[in-house]
Structure 1
Amino acid sequence: MTADEQAEVVVIGSGIGGMTAARMLAEFGGRRVLMLEQHYTPGGLTHEFTRQGRYHFGTGVHYLTAGPGPMLDYLADGRLQYHRLPHDYDRLHFPGFDFAIPASEDEFRARLKARFPQEAAGIDRFFATARKAARGMTARNLVASTLLRAALMPVVERLYPDTFRTIREVVARHVRDPALRAILSARWGLFGPPPATSAFGGHANVAIQAFMQGATHPVGGARELGRAIMDGLERFGVVLRPRQRVQGIIVEKVRAVGVAVEDRATGRRYTVRAPCIVSAIGARNTARLLPPAQAERWERALAPLPKEVATLLLFLGLDHSPAAFGLDGANHWFMPDIDDDAGIARPLGEGILFVSFSSLNNPAARAHTIEVMQFVDPGVFRAWSRTEQGARPNAYAALKAAVTARLIERLDARWPGIKASIAFAELATPLTFVTYQNSVDGAFYGLATSPARLRSSIARCRTDLRGLYMSGQDAWGPGIEAALWGGIMAANAALGFRETGRMWRAIRSARAVPDPAAPWRGYMRVSRVEAMTPTIRRIRFEPLDGGVLPFRFLAGQYVTLDLPVAGDTIARSYSISSAPGERGYFEIAVKQEEHGLGSKVLHRELAVGEALRLCAPFGTFTLDAAGEAEAERLLLIAGGVGITPIMSMLAALAERGDTRPITLLASFRSESDILFAAEIDAARTRLPGLEARIVLTAPDAAWRGERGRIDAATLRPYVSGATRAHLCGPPAMMQAMIAALHACGLPRQATRTEAFVSSRTRATRAERAQAIAMAAAAAGITTFRITTSDGIGFDCRPGQTVLAAANAAQVPFSQSCGEGACGSCQARVLAGPFVTLGQALFSEEEVAAGHVLACQTLPQGDLAIARPGA
C-alpha cells in the first residue's frame, strides 16, 4: 500500500474512549497519534450546542458519579470542577407512588425496608448480590481484554453467575412485591435496554453501586470535560482532525495497516498508514469499515446480540429557573407502568422518561434548561433513515411536533405552570444521533448490555486483527466513565510491557495536580458587584466552594475572563486590584466601553452568584513587594481605570510595611471619576513614605485639588532617585508619559507599562487582517517571509500576526497574554511593510524606530525583525 501519510497510531472517533486511548498512547507510549473525527466538533457526547444565543444543551453527559474516579481527573489534568446534585439525586414516579434514591446504600436499604417491611430479608440479599455482580462485571471486562479470554471467561461466569443473568431474573428471585421489583429494576436507562433484556451485572454496576456516594455535574457543562481532555491531548502532540470520515480500514493478511479517509470539508480522499489502529466508534460501525472477509466474521458475531435501545431527546429553554416549581436539580424518572418492559413499548411521547435539569447543577449556567429523554425502539424511525436532515417529509416534522407537545404536557401535569415558562423547544430523534454521532440507528450507548453481549467475543478491546483495537463503550461498558476505561484497556493492549507499567502506576497514583507553573483555569463565583463610578464597576470573585483562592498572584498581574456573548465566549483581560495577600477572593475594576462586548456583559448582565470561567494569573507588569529590598523611590503613575493594578501594588507594599519613598500620581477626568479614594487614604496611613497626588483634567468649579495634566514638570521632582516607574492608563497618556520620563532622566528599561487592548482595537485589527489577506490573495501571494536578526526564518500567512506565525512555526518568542496587554512580546521591525496597533506601550521615538508588539503586528510583505533577548 502506498500511503499519502504515515502515523504511529490512528484513532477513529474523538469521544471519551477515543480521547483516552489517544492520551495514553501518546503519553506513555510516546506515539505520534492522529485522531480522526467525522463531526465538525470533536469530543463525542461531551459536545454541547447553543440555541437563541443563551441556551446551552449537553448531548450525553447528564450526571457523573460523585468524585469521578482519579482517571477522569488525570485525563483532565486536575482542571475539572464538580457540582454535587441533591442528596436524593434520582426521583422515581410510578403510577400511584413515588420513591427517591438517596446517595447512600444504607439509607437506600432503610427506605426500602420502611416501605416494604415484609421484604427486608430479600432486600438485604438483593444488595449483597448486586455488590458481587458488580465485581463480576469488572472481572468480565478485564478477562475479556486478555489473550486468555476463551479459557477464563467460563470461570468468571461460574464465579459470578448473576452478572450474566437479566435484571428481571435476579430481582424476581429476591423480592415479590411488584412495586419493590419496579424500584429495584428502574433506571436501566442509565446504561441500556429494559429489565427483561439487560444484564444484571451492568445494572448492579451502574444503577445500584456507582452512585451510592452521590452524583455530580461538571461545572461549566459537558464541554468542560471535553475541553480539558483535549488540552491534554494537545500537550502530548496528538493531532486532531475534525470532519474526516474514515471510509475503510485497510487490512493486509491478518493485520490492520491503515485507513482510507475522506475530508468532508474538501472532498479529498487520502490514506494513512499506521501499525496501530484504535476504533472508538463501536463494534457495528467498525465492522462496516472492514474488508468483506473480515466484515462477514464480525457480522456473524454481532448477529445474535439484541438490538439497542435509542432515545428521543427534547431540549427545552426556560424563561426562569425550574426552582420556581420546586425543583432542586435532582433527576426525575417517569414510569407509566409498574412493568418497565411494558413501558418501553408505549407510543412515542407516552413511554418512560428521564428528565434532567443541568442548568440547576451548573453554577456557570446563565439561562435555564430541561432535557427530557424517552427510550424508544429505533425501528420506529427507520422509514426516514435514507432521508437527509433538512429535507425529510412533512410527516416526520408533524410527528416531532406532536411528540414535543405531548412531552411538554406530561411535564406540565407534574409541575403545573412549567409549560408557560418554556421559551424554546427542539426534539432530537434517533436520526439526529445518526447525523451527528454516526451511531447505528441512533443508539448512543453502543452494544446493548445484555447477557449475550457479556458472553460475546466481539465486545472487548482486542480484535481478531492484529494492530486493530476497540476503545470506548463497546470495549468496556456504556456511559462516559465506562467508555473512558474502554480507552485505557485499548491502550493497555496496544502498549508494551514497560509502557503499560508506567500507565498503571499513573492510574493508581493520587488525583492529578495541575502544573503549578501553568495558569489556573476554572470557574469562580461572583460574590460582590459594586458601582464605583457611573461607568466603572468593581467585581469580586470567590472560589465556588469557599476556601482559599486556587492560585497566587503578584501585584500588577491580571486575569482573563471567558465572557458569554451571543452563544459563544470571548476572552477579556482585567487587572487585579486587590492585595496579593488576600487569599479568600480577588477583585477587578471594569470600565464600560461604548463598543465593548466584554464590558457590556460585566456591566449590564452579570449578577451576584453567577460563575465565570477564568485563567490566572498573567502579566509581567508586576511588583513583588516581598521579594524587593526597600531602597530608592518608587514612582506609580495611573490614568483613569489604569489605577487598578497600581492599587494592588499599594496593597502589597502596605502588607509588607514598606517604608521607602513612594509617589502615586493619579489622573482622572472629574471628581466623580476618582477611583479607590478610600483605599488611597488608607494607604497613606499604612505607608509612611507614600505621597499620593490626584490630578483632575476637567474638574468642576468646586474642586479644590490639583488641575491639569501630569507632564514632565510634574514628574521631574520624583524621577531623581527613582529606580522604577510603573505606568498604566489610556494610550495617549502612556505615550506622553514614556517620553516625559525619559526626558526627565529615567532609563527606558526602568519604565514598566501595561495597557489592555479595547474591543474596538480588536475589531480594527480583524478588519485590517482581512484587508491584508484579500489584497494578498488578489496578488497571488500565499505567504510572507519573516526573518529574525539571529537568522531564523518562518512563514506568515497574510492576515496573521507576527506572534501567531512564530507560534505556528514553533519559533521561541517571549509572550504572555497574546492581546497587547502585557508587553511581553515586544519586537523591533528592522525592514519591511507592516501595520500595527498597541503602540501605547512605546514612546513616539520608539514607534518611529520600529518598536512593536508582535501580537498586534500584521506584515504586509516580507519582514526583518529583532526579537527581545535573541
Structure 2
Amino acid sequence: MVKKLYQPFNPSLDFLGLDHIVVGSGMGGLTVATWLAKAGKKVAIFERHYVPGGFTHSFKRKDGFQWDVGVHYVGNMAEDSSLRGFFDFLTNGKLEWESMGEVYDVANIDGAEYKFKAGKENFRKQLINYFPKEEKAIDAYLKLIQKANKRGSAFFFEKVFEPWFSKSVGWIFRKRYSKFSEKTTWNVLNEITKNERLIAVLCAQCGNYGLSPKNSSFAAHAMVIGHFLEGGYYPIGGADQICKKTLEVFTANSGKVFINADVTKIVTENNQVQGIQLGEKFIPCKSVISNVGVNNTFNHLLSEADRKFCDFSLKNVQPASAHICLYLGLNQSSEALKLPKHNLWYYKHDGIDEIFEEATLENAPENFAYISFPSAKDPNWQTKNPETSTIQAISVGNMDWFENYIDTNWMKRGDEYLKLKKNFETEMLKVLFKFFPQIEGTIIASEVSTPLSTENFTNYKSGEIYGLAHSPERFTLPFLRPKTKIKGLFLTGQDITLVGVAGAMLSGLLCATAILKLGSWKIFKAIKTSKNS
C-alpha cells in the first residue's frame, strides 16, 4: 500500500506537540522541513494550494498531458557536485537526473543563433568562435563570474551568523560582495565590452532571474550563469518528482503535510512566536518557518507591531517580473517531431531592456519567448505517454494588463479574459511555427496561464514567480536572513537567497543551520560520508 504523502487540512485533527510549522511547501520549505525531520524534530507543513510543491509541482489534465509550472532545468547536477549531494540527502538518493546534453540553451537574436555548451571551457571556446575579436572581454567576463560567485558563497553563508558576529565580522563579506551585487549587469558588462550583440548573448538567459540587464544585479546574473556553466539537467519523471521524492523522505521521518491549509496569521506575543492561525483554528508550536515570501510574511501574516519591531520595509525593492505561458500537448512524440532537449531563448533584437520595458500583451511573444520541451528532456515521458509530447512557451507578463479581472475567480473570469488568452496563444504560435514548423497540425491540447493564475495559487500579489526582484537594492536588505528579530520566527525561500530550485534549497539549508546550529554539522557529515561511500 502506497503511503499518502499529504492530507487536506481539518481543524478537528490533533496538532499538539509540534516543534516546527512550515508555512508553504515550495523548495525552501521542503528542504528545511526534511532537514529538521531527519534531525528528529516534529514538523508539519501547511500549504494553501490543493497540491504541495510550490513551483516544483506539475499539473495534469484528463487527456494525460502534464506540464511543469516552474522548474524547467537545473544546473550543477553532476554526481560529484555539492548540490547533487544535498538533493540525494533530501530524497535518500531516489531522485534521478537526466543531462540535457552538450547544448543546454540556444539563443536566437535577430535571426542569429548562439549555442550554450556545457563545460566552462566549451562555453568559452564557443563564445570566442562567435566573437573572435572579443576574446579578452570573454575571458574577463568568466573571471568576474568566478570571482563574484566565490564572494557570493561567503555572503550567503554569513546569513546564519548570530547578530553580534554579523556586526563584528559579517560586514566584511557583505562589503566584498557589494562590488558585484550593487552594480547592474549592464554596467559590469559595459565596462569590459562595447559589443552590443555580445552583451545581448551574455544576457540571453536573463529570464532565469526575471530582470533585464540594466535593472538586474550582476551578482544575481553571475550566480545563475555560473549555476548552468556545466550544463543543464532535468528530473527524470518530471519536475514534480523533486517534491514527491522529498516528501517521501519527510513523511517517512514522521513529517506531516496539510493541503488546502491557508494560514491567515502568524501569532506572536511579546515578540515571540506562539503558533499559527487558520481561520478560527489556532495551532501552537515552538517555531514558525515561513516559505511564502517576505512580502506575504510581513505584510499579510504578521501585525503592524511585528513589522515595526523587525524594521521591515520593501519600499526600495519591487516584486520580480510576472509571465504568461502557453502549454501545448501534441499527438506525436518528441523524437518524431525532432524536438530538442535544449531550451530556446528568442529575442527579436539586441535591445533586451527595451523588449522588457516596452512589452505589451499584444507584442510580448513577437519580441521575446522562452521555449522549453519537457517531454524531450524526460526519458520516462514516452513510456508513460506514448506518441505524445509537450511544449511550454513563455513571454514576459504584467499584472496591470489584467487589472479588469483581478476581482474575478479562477476558471470564471469571463469571455473577454478568455479572448485575451486566446490572442496570446495565437501570437505565440506564430513564433513557435517559425522555429518549429513541423508541429503545425499536431497540437491537440493547449492552455494559457497569466499572472492572475500565478497569484491564485501562490498568493504573490503581482503574479511574480521569482519573489523579490533581483535588483542591486535587494542585496542591501538586512532582514533577508533565516532568523528574524521575533523569537521563533524563521524565513526560507528564494527571497532569502536567490531565484530557482537551487537558490530555494540553499535557503532551506541555511534556515536549518540557523535552527539546529551545531547539530546541523552532523547532517553535513552524514552527507559527505554518503557521497564518499
TM-score (norm 2): 0.90
1:457 aligns with: 478
Q: 1:301-359, CA deviations, whole angstroms, 9 ceiling, x for partnerless residues?
A: 21211331011111100111344454321110011231211111322233421111010
- Contact kept in structure 1, 2:29 and 2:492, CA below 8 Å: yes
Are the aligned partners of 2:319 and 2:467 in contact in 1 as well (CA < 8 Å)?
A: no
- 2:462 alignment partner, one of 441, 444, 447: 441
Corresponding position of 1:135: 150
Q: Which runs of 5+ in 1 are unaligned?
A: 263-268, 514-870
Specify the alignment match of 1:489 in structure 2: 510
Is contact 2:213-2:352 (8 Å) kept? yes
Equivalent in the alignment of 1:185: 203
Name 2:185's counterpart in structure 1.
167
Residue 313 of structure 2 aligns to a residue in which SS? Answer: helix
Contact 2:310 2:485 in 1 (8 A): no
- How far apart are 1:180 and its partner, in Å? 0.4
Match of 1:23 among 10, 31, 34: 34
Instruction: State the Cα deviation string for residues 193-223 of structure 1 (Å, max 9, x = none).
Output: 221121111111112x112221111111112
Q: Which amino acid aligns with 1:346?
A: A
The secondary structure found in structure 2 opposite 1:186 is coil
Corresponding residue of 1:202: 220
Cα distance in structure 1, aligned partners of 2:52 and 2:453:
16
Alpha carbons 1:409, 1:419 under 8 Å: kept: no
3-state SS in 1 of match to 2:138 = helix
The answer as to whether partners of 1:276 and 1:494 remain within 8 angstroms in 2 is no
Choose which of 231, 235, 256 in structure 2 pairs with 1:214: 231
The Cα shift of 1:170 comes to 0.9
2:365 is equivalent to residue 355 of structure 1: no
Partners in 2 of 1:151 and 1:338 — Cα distance? Answer: 45
Structure 1: distance between partners of 2:447 and 2:400: 21
Secondary structure of the equivalent of 2:262? Answer: strand
1:245 alignment partner, SS class? coil
Describe the SS at the equivalent of 1:337. Answer: coil
Displacement of 1:175 after TM fit?
1.1
Whether 1:249 and 2:266 are equivalent positions in the alignment is yes
CA deviations over 1:369-426 (Å, ceiling 9, x no partner) = 0011112233323342221112213321111010011101110012223232111110
TM alignment of 1:301-700, pairs within 5 A: 301-344=313-356, 345-348=358-361, 349-365=365-381, 366=385, 367-497=388-518, 499-511=519-531
Matched-pair contact (CA < 8 Å) for 2:117–2:126: no
The residue number in structure 2 matching 1:77 is 92
CA shift, 1:442, in A, is 1.8
Cα offset for 1:300?
4.9
Pair 484,462 (structure 1): closer, same or farther in 2 beyond 3 Å: same
Is the contact between residue 21 and residue 289 of structure 2 (CA under 8 Å) also seen in structure 1?
yes
Question: SS where residue 438 of structure 2 aligns?
Answer: coil
CA displacement 1:244-293 (0-9 Å, x = unmatched)? 1101001111112211014xxxxxx3111112110011101111100121
- State which of 53, 59, 74 in structure 2 corresponds to 1:64: 74
- 1:299/1:434 CA distance change after superposition, 3 Å: farther
In the TM superposition, what is the alpha-carbon distance from 1:150 to its structure 2 partner?
Answer: 4.5
Aligned residue type for 1:216? Y
Q: What's the CA shift for 1:503?
A: 2.4
Distance 1:464-1:298 versus aligned 2 partners, 3 A rule: closer
Please name the residue that 2:257 is paired with: 240
Match of 1:33 in 2: 43
Cα drift, residue 485 of structure 1: 1.2
The yes-or-no answer on 1:293 pairing with 2:312 is no
C-alpha change, 1:304 and 1:273, in structure 2 (3 Å) is: same
Distance 1:467 1:125, change over 3 A: same
CA distance in 1, matches of 2:471, 2:526: 32
Inter-CA distance 172–323: structure 2 relative to 1 (3 Å threshold): farther
Equivalent AA in structure 1 for residue 113 of structure 2: D
**Which residue type is aligned with residue 137 of structure 1?**
G
Matches within 5 A, 1:748-763: none
Amino acid at match of 2:241: E
Are 1:258 and 1:277, in contact at CA under 8 Å, matched by a contact in 2?
Answer: yes
Task: Give 1:277's aligned residue.
Answer: 288
Cα pair 1:170 1:200 within 8 Å, conserved: yes
In structure 2, distance between residues paired with 1:260 and 1:475? 24
Q: Distance in 1 between the 2:368 and 2:311 partners?
A: 31
What RMSD, in angstroms, separates the aligned Cα atoms of the two structures?
Answer: 2.0
What is the alpha-carbon distance in structure 2 between the residues aligned to residue 184 and residue 153 of structure 1?
A: 31
Aligned-pair identity in percent equals 27
2:243 match: secondary structure: helix
Give me the whole-angstrom Cα distance separating, in 2, the residues matched to 1:101 and 1:215: 10
Quote the Cα distance in structure 1 between the aligned partners of 2:450 and 2:295: 20
What CA deviation, in whole Å up to 9, does each residue of 1:93-142 have, x standing for no partner?
10031100000211221122222222111111111011111122222211
- Secondary structure (helix, strand or coil) at the match of 2:264 reads strand
Superposed CA deviations along residues 704-758 of structure 1, whole A, max 9, x for unmatched, are: xxxxxxxxxxxxxxxxxxxxxxxxxxxxxxxxxxxxxxxxxxxxxxxxxxxxxxx
Aligned-pair CA distance for 1:488: 1.1
Secondary structure of 2:94's counterpart equals: coil
- For the 8 Å contact 2:397–2:450, the answer to whether it is kept is no
Give the SS at the match of 2:147.
helix
Using a 3 Å threshold, how does the CA distance of structure 1 residues 159 and 216 change in structure 2: closer, same or farther? same
More strand by share: 1
Q: Distance in 2 between matches of 1:115 and 1:384?
A: 46
Amino acid at match of 1:250: V
Q: Is the 8 A contact 2:275 2:285 kept in 1?
A: yes
* Contact 1:5/1:271 (<8 A) preserved: no
What is the correspondence of 1:732-743 to structure 2 with a 5 Å cutoff? none
CA contact (8 A) 1:58 1:222 kept: yes
1:226 — aligned with what?
Answer: 243
Matches within 5 A, 1:661-810: none
**AA paired with 1:129?**
L
The amino acid across from 2:347 in the alignment is M
Counterpart contact for 1:8–1:31, Cα < 8 Å: yes
> SS at 2:145's partner residue?
helix
After superposition, the Cα gap between the structure-2 partners of 1:475 and 1:512, relative to the gap in structure 1 and judged at 3 Å, is farther
Q: How far 1:502 sits from its partner (Å)? A: 1.1
State which structure, 1 or 2, has the greater radius of gyration over its C-alpha atoms: 1
CA distance in 2, matches of 1:413, 1:237: 52
Task: Determine if contact 1:74/1:511 at 8 Å carries over to the other structure.
Answer: no
Q: 1:98 to 1:297 in 2, by over 3 A?
A: farther
Equivalent pairs counted in the alignment come to 502
**SS of equivalent to 2:495:** helix
